[in-house]
Amino acid sequence: MMRVFSHGSNVNFHQSTKEMFAPDLNRIIQSFKESTESLLFGSIDVTNEALYVFGRLQKIEIDESADLFSVSYQQMEDGINDHIERSFADLEISHEAIFDVIDEKKGRVQNRVIYVTFWDEEKNGEITYFFADEHRVSNPLECVVTFWEQVSNVGRDVDFNLTGCAAHERKGKCKNHNH
């Protein structure tokens, strides 16, 4: 059975949460990569007020059956190819933020950032990775931080696994009344 997790979305302050599965998340990030010249990949750590840019996304692979979330990227400074692998089972939630921003050089631009959050046993806390268009706005990293503030809590109150169980419970109760 495929694991379901929440995907919180904030599009110009319209918040929603939907069910997400590994193939869907893979497709969303892949199509984002294909729609842009260069996609930045890194992590955001609000607790330590840190933003790390690992490099430019080369390839993403999300394979639930292999328990794999793998990102290949080219390092920013030296162009060396590198990758990060995480257990898909540790994925907690994904987010997508899309906002119209007024860019100092480009005027009004719609910008998008995708975030994927995992439980990190070593840190005993979460680690959040981001994917952001490098060239859409003049300051993409500012958007990564600002958008995260707007979207990070969206969908955290929804557990589609629980919703599914609750639905089965209700179905059982309804059955008793339909003789």
Cα–Cα dist 88/113, whole Å: 20
Q: How many CB atoms lie within 10 A of CB 55?
A: 23
Domain ranges of the chain: 5-177
Reduced to 3 states (helix: H, G, I; strand: E, B; else coil), residue 55 is strand
DSSP result, 136-160 = SSS-HHHHHHHHHHHHTTTTTT--H
pLDDT by position in tens, the chain (length 179): 678 888 999 999 999 999 899 999 999 999 999 999 999 999 999 888 899 999 999 999 999 999 999 999 999 989 999 999 999 999 999 999 999 999 999 999 999 999 999 999 888 889 999 999 999 999 999 999 999 999 999 988 876 665 444 333 333 333 333 33
Strands (DSSP E) found in 46-90 = 50-63, 68-75, 81-86
Token pair, residue 117, equals 């959050």
Residue 89: what pLDDT?
A: 94
